[in-house]
Amino acid sequence: MAELLQLLVNGLMAGTVLAVPAIGFTAIYAVLRFPNFALASHATIGAFGGYVANTAGGLPAWAAVAVAFAVAGLVGVLSDTFVLRPLRPAGAITTAIAAVALNIALENVVRFVFGNDHRGYDLPLQRDWQVAAIRIGPQQFQNLVIALIAMAAIFLFLALTRTGKAMRAVADNPTLANVKGVDADRVGRLVSFVGMGLAGVGGMLLGLDTSIDPLTGFRVILSVFAAAVVGGLGSIPGAVVGALTIGVAEELSLVALAPAYRSAVGFVAILLVLTLRPRGILGERAY
């Protein structure tokens, strides 16, 4: 029982962290209408950006997360503007395939610069906390808080700012947004920045728990995609619900499955949702 509770707590914490890149993925899908699988390499790039700021720049982990956001967001805007945007008129499938190719290319850039070694962030050593029968790592907890702050920021941005509303308008009805004077290119750049920035934060948060290497993003992209699909592609609250579902399911799978089969959870979840409820739990509710 206590073990199950521990897995549930771990799952909810992992799901909250997973929600950050899943929001990025789904936001990009909502506005640009293609699944941007290059999110994996952007998560890795963010993780390394944060790593440099943390180890060479001496920033504490929580501050280096902002660097992860900025670096991954910037690369996101550039890669979208120069690689993916010119291909979008050719359709979502072509663009998605190009995104996979872009992902491999960017991953190799990281490999070229940093090598294949696993690297760890500079973190103070801390003892785990014990709450009743549940164990929680302070770093895990900090990651949870950072993820919640990032999510709150994105929700406030979408709900309250003029630019955030314009972004939702494009997601809702791009033709009408054009009629009303919204600059779709600008919104496209913005969603690439924010979406890939969130991917970078996600990559770094995952790395803080373990270590980072050029495949950091690749290892989670299936879970990210599954979270977005389970919640309903294009729906931000859906991405949160989906990420929590996937996070908990992956942890609970450890009861029955060897850790190596954990990634099967995301795969099965995608298959189930696409067969039973193709629009996901929350459907196409963009916001």
Q: Does 210 bind another protein (CB under 8 A)?
A: no
Q: Min. distance of Cβ 33 from another protein in angstroms?
A: 15
Backbone angles phi, psi at 130, to 5 degrees: -115, 115
The residue from 34, 48, 225, 287 that contacts another protein (CB under 8 A) is 287
- Of 108 and 163, the one with the shorter C-beta distance to another protein is 163
Smallest separation, CB 275 to another protein (Å): 26
Residue found under tokens 């920035």: 197
Cβ neighbours around 105 below 10 Å, total: 13
Q: By C-beta, is 175 or 275 nearer to another protein?
A: 175
* Span of 114-122, 172-180, 210-218, 259-267 interacting with another protein by CB under 8 A: 172-180
The CB density around residue 36, as the number of other CB atoms within 10 Å, is: 29
126 near another protein (CB under 8 A):
no
How far is C-alpha 64 from the chain's CA centre?
17
In degrees, to the nearest 5, what angle opens at C-alpha 91 toward C-alphas 185 and 173?
A: 50
Residue with tokens 């936001």: 27
42 binds another protein (CB under 8 A): no
Among 180, 257, 277, 278, binds another protein (CB under 8 A): 180
Residue 118 or 180: the one with the smaller Cβ distance to another protein is 180
209 binds another protein (CB under 8 A): no
Q: Write each residue from 138 to 167 as x if it is in contact with another protein (CB under 8 A), else as -, in one continuous string.
A: ------------------------x--xx-
* 77 close to 62: Cβ distance less than 8 angstroms: no
Asked if residue 172 binds another protein (CB under 8 A), the reply is yes
User: Quick check: 169 binds another protein (CB under 8 A)?
Assistant: yes
**Is there a contact between 146 and 201 (Cβ–Cβ < 8 Å)?**
yes
Question: In this structure, what is the dihedral angle of CA atoms 104, 105, 108, 109, given to the nearest 10 degrees?
Answer: -150
Selected binder of another protein within 144, 182, 249, 269 (CB under 8 A): 182
Beta strands in the chain (DSSP E): 129-131, 134-136
The residue (of 163 and 210) whose beta carbon lies closer to another protein is: 163
Structure tokens at 54: 């943390």
Cβ atoms < 10 Å from Cβ of 262? 15
Site size for another protein (CB under 8 A): 20
How far is 31 from 179, CA to CA, in rounded Å?
16
Inter-CA distances, 213 with 183, 216, 234, Å? 38, 5, 29
Q: What is d(CA 251, CA 255) in angstroms, rounded to the nearest whole number?
A: 8
- 160 versus 256: smaller Cβ distance to another protein: 160
> 42 or 168: whose CB is closer to another protein?
168
Q: CB-wise, 116 or 175, nearer to another protein?
A: 175
Using rule CB under 8 A, residue 177 touches another protein = yes
Side chain identity at residue 103, one-letter code: N
If one asks whether residue 181 binds another protein (CB under 8 A), the answer comes out as yes
Q: Which residues bind another protein (CB under 8 A)?
A: 162, 165-166, 168-169, 172-173, 175-183, 284-287
